[in-house]
Amino acid sequence: MAKQLLVIDGNSLLHRAFHALPQSLSTSSGQPTNAIYGLAQMLLPLLKEKPPDAALVAFDAPGKTFRDELFEDYKAGRAPTDETLIAQFGLAHELIDALGMTQTEIAGYEADDIIGTIAEKARGAGFEVLIITGDRDVLQLVDDQISVLATIRGLSETRLYEPDKVYEEYGVWPEQIADYKALVGDSSDNIPGVVGVGPKTAALLLGQFPHVEELLERLDEVDSDKLAAKLKESSGQIQLSKKLATIVLDSPLRLDIGDLTWEGIQPGQLRQLFARLEFSRLMERLPVQSATPASQPAPAELDEVTQAIKAAGYCNLAAAWPEDELRGLALATDEVGPAYLPLALAKQEDSDGGLFGEDAGGQVPSAVAKLLEDPEIAKRGCDLKQIATGLDDYDIRVAGCQWDGALADYLIAPQRDQNADALAACYLQEALPSPEQPVERACQLATMIPRLRAVLDKEIEQLDLMPLFERVEMPQIEILRDMERAGIALDCEQIAQLGTHIQADQKELGEQIHELAAEQFNINSPQQLGEILFEKLELPEGRRTKTGWSTAADVLEELRGEHEIVGLVLEYRQLSKLYSTYIKALLEQVSPETGRVHTTFVQTATATGRLSSRNPNLQNIPKRTELGRSVRACFIAGSPETVLLCADYSQIELRILAHLSGDENLVSAFVAGEDIHKRTAAALFGVSLDEVSRKQRDAAKTVNYAVIYGMGSQALATQLDISREEADKFIEDYFAQLPGVQQYMDQIVRQAYEDGYVQTICGRRRPVPELNSNNRGVQAYGERAAANTPLQGSAADIMKIAMADIAPRLVEASGGARMLLQVHDELVFEVPAEDVAKVSKLTKQMMEEAWELSVPLSVDIKAGRNWRDLEQVS
């Protein structure tokens, strides 16, 4: 079997990662890390799954190259490298070293030339070469020994190019790619090409003439006289463009294949780097790192530890999670333990004893079950909700969750997602055994809990976050676990019928699109769609990408009035997204046992304190479109005797804005119980309250929320379909009517620049490292985040407090009522119809009394058989 050489285009992947991941991703000290995180996220699994014999990472050297001497405007259209990305190049070199790979650059040459040169050497040495890049220029190197793995969107989606794949996509063979670019040009490198020659024409020409040199010699054989004349006129430009596009195969590279032997990842070095960069999730992907015998706790007898826990009144708890299945518990006190309890349901048992030995089939002993369910026994651990959810399969309802290290760290540094590995590395400077050693890992973590708790609690106290931790975050563990377990019923027959109608409508739209195009093509292919719109139908040219014309939504929106086909394509895409994201996904994710959809709520995913929902995301079910509302109608009460009850905070973020800004006009409007959107409309349009139309109120509502979310005039103009000048006037008039709001917004941003963070009314902190960026776009994002977080984050805090107040009292109002969903400002319950009045009264009272503002909190309560058709509860 041939040896493998892995060659990586370092600059290309760094740029891809930088633009694929949020630029706000940074360490708690403000060091930007998004590009490094993305690069590591891609390379770690690649090196693990396909370990190469040799590896090289090529970088562009600073300064000009020989191509700049050939063509002064080469790459002239490119913006300067973002300062936030530049700040990560040193870390990129550290990462490559820790991954055990050789790296190099050559003055006067590009990374592509290094890649071409080493690939040529490797070919001669009998190696198979895999090139990883986001740049399609290197496709010209592809042959039977050289393949290219190219990133498509972001970093997660890739495409493997071998000769046939290159031809399938471009209509030319790899050795013709430079000729192809000589004709089509390349906007990203500012390679001119020939005006008016697109991908389809270039492929046809190169199918007839192998290379542009032969094409220029045989122009008399070109079918179109007009095209031949254009090619003749551009002959010098074509030859220059080919030189610019052609990769050098003999650059002065001093490395030979023998210098590139890959000896594997350096786990210690990489672990230290990941701990410094706070890459918690990536630590789990590191190779096995066995704990030293001295660091492994000696296991104790289960009975001994159980008795110690009862006497102490608390339990340090950790779990073994091989392949995301709960397979064991480690239990301890600060002085006694740990004891390890292997777990396996019948479906999980291994015929040979498996990873956990021959005793791995047992259930939870009744003494341990009672201990776990006892609310008087405090549970301490890291990610207790995951443990509690896993124990649901054993019919154990964990209670008494008192301390969670992941939640504590979330309050200290909300922009990082710390798992147990990172907590141990960051706070204790220790490494846990690998996830591939689940028993040892769980036991060691259980013994670390008291030391982690001491360090984290000290930081929590210093930041004055203990009330938020104990009053707001910790109660959510058991509440969210119960909501996930309850799920929400789905009418599968109704949603399947809706899907059938959507697919039929989509098929009809497809036929209309093909009829207007006068040919069959793949509507979902941006390349084919671009050729239809910009070459065949000759619509006004949009922007170009490396693979052809851009058909992004914003491009098509600008073309909507140019041709009937554009609107149909946009509608086709909307139906396609609705079907795949909601209909198909929901039908796949409904539980066959319960007939309900069970989402996972995540507490630590947002910097503002908002909850998020995953697998599926039930916080994102659309409600503004008719089709979206049809999807909501498929979520139903679980039995004929029950209804869905929805409690929704009315304009809570605007009320918090009134409270925090103290603006007299805004406060007085809420105190008087006025319709704030109507009042804003009256001020913006210069009419009385009675004269405000529905359209004017909707526009005012958009303006109100535009202020909260820091929306600029251009975005507002697009939302309202008005000119930018009109949008500027709306914003100007808004702040003129509410001067206290303007003063508050300006003050909170100034304070964020000084402090480096902003706070909610409960003291939750959000660091804003983006304000330190040299990139004005990143800085502007930071300013919007600084202005919005105290509003959105305070609303999230208030909602969590309300949930914590409602949950223990819900059973008093109705034994059959269950909290099912939290959708930001809305709570969804399933309630026996006879108990609607009692649950409604309790919910409204608890939500409106959750926090005392200078303006009243208001909650709307509606109920109905499905999530769409709800009626007001009096």
For the segment 606-628, the average pLDDT, to the nearest whole number, is 89
Residue 417: its pLDDT value, please? Answer: 63
791 within 8 A of 708, measured Cβ to Cβ: yes
Residue-wise pLDDT for 756-782, tens only, equals 999 999 999 998 888 877 667 778 888
**Three-class SS state of 381:** strand
Mean pLDDT of 781-810: 95
Residue 545 has pLDDT above 70, yes or no: no
Q: Which of 175-189, 285-299, 462-476 has the lowest mean pLDDT?
A: 285-299
User: Which amino acid, 24?
Assistant: S
- Least confident window among 102-111, 345-354, 624-633: 345-354
Contact 807, 819 (CB under 8 A): yes
Give the pLDDT of residue 436. 80
By mean pLDDT, which of 130-134, 325-329, 713-717 is the weakest? 713-717
Task: Supply the pLDDT for residue 719.
Answer: 79
The residue among 475 and 292 whose pLDDT is bigger is 475
Average pLDDT over residues 435-439: 85
Asked if 336 and 304 touch (Cβ cutoff 8 Å), the reply is: yes
Q: Rounded to whole angstroms, how far apart are CA atoms 56 and 114?
A: 10
Q: Give yes or no for residue 347 having a pLDDT over 50.
A: no
More confident residue, 502 or 234: 502
**pLDDT tops 80 at residue 385:** yes
Question: Which pLDDT score is estimated for 804?
Answer: 97
Q: DSSP states of 64-130 as a string? A: --HHHHH-TTTTTTPPPPPHHHHTTHHHHHHHHHHTT-EEE--TTS-HHHHHHHHHHHHHHTT-EEE
Asked whether the predicted pLDDT for residue 384 surpasses 70, the reply is yes
pLDDT classification of 554: cutoffs 50, 70, 90 = confident
Residue 116 has pLDDT above 70, yes or no: yes
Q: How many CB atoms lie within 10 A of CB 527?
A: 18
Per-residue model confidence (pLDDT) at position 49: 85
pLDDT at site 344: 72
pLDDT digits (tens, 9 = 90+) for 205-223: 998 888 988 888 888 888 8
Least confident of 523-537, 752-766, 845-859: 523-537
* Residue 797: pLDDT over 70: yes
Region 28-47: what's the mean pLDDT? 86
What confidence category does residue 353 fall into, taking pLDDT thresholds of 50, 70 and 90? very low
Confidence of residue 560 (pLDDT cuts 50, 70, 90): confident
pLDDT recorded at residue 543: 65
Residue type, 111: A
Per-residue pLDDT band for 720 (boundaries 50, 70, 90) equals confident
For 325, the 3-state DSSP assignment is coil
Q: What mean pLDDT comes out for the span 296-305?
A: 80
Q: What is the DSSP string of 610-647?
A: --EEESS-TT----SSHHHHHHHTTEE-SSTTEEEEEE
Average predicted confidence (pLDDT) for the chain: 88
**Given this model, what pLDDT does residue 362 score?**
54
pTM recorded for the entire structure: 0.73
Residue with tokens 């919007």: 784
pLDDT of residue 117: 94
- The pair of structure tokens assigned to 338 is 């740990």
Instruction: Say if residue 553's pLDDT is above 70.
Output: yes
Q: Is residue 52's pLDDT more than 50?
A: yes
How confident is the model at residue 75, as a pLDDT? 79
User: If you average pLDDT over residues 829-848, what whole number do you get?
Assistant: 97
pLDDT at 578: 87
Above 90 in pLDDT, residue 151? no
pLDDT at 345: 54
Q: Which of 503-507, 537-541, 855-859 has the lowest mean pLDDT?
A: 537-541
Q: Which residues contact 852 (CB under 8 A, 6 or more apart)?
A: none
Long-range contacts of range 228-235, CB-CB < 8 Å, 24 or more positions apart?
Answer: 230/194, 230/195, 230/196, 230/197, 231/194, 231/197, 234/194, 234/195
Choice among 21-35, 350-364, 410-424, 710-724 with the minimum mean pLDDT: 350-364
Tell me the sheet residues that pair with 332. 316
Spatial separation of the C-alpha atoms in residues 147 and 164, rounded to whole Å: 11
pLDDT the model gives residue 539: 86
**pLDDT at 287 (0 to 100):** 58
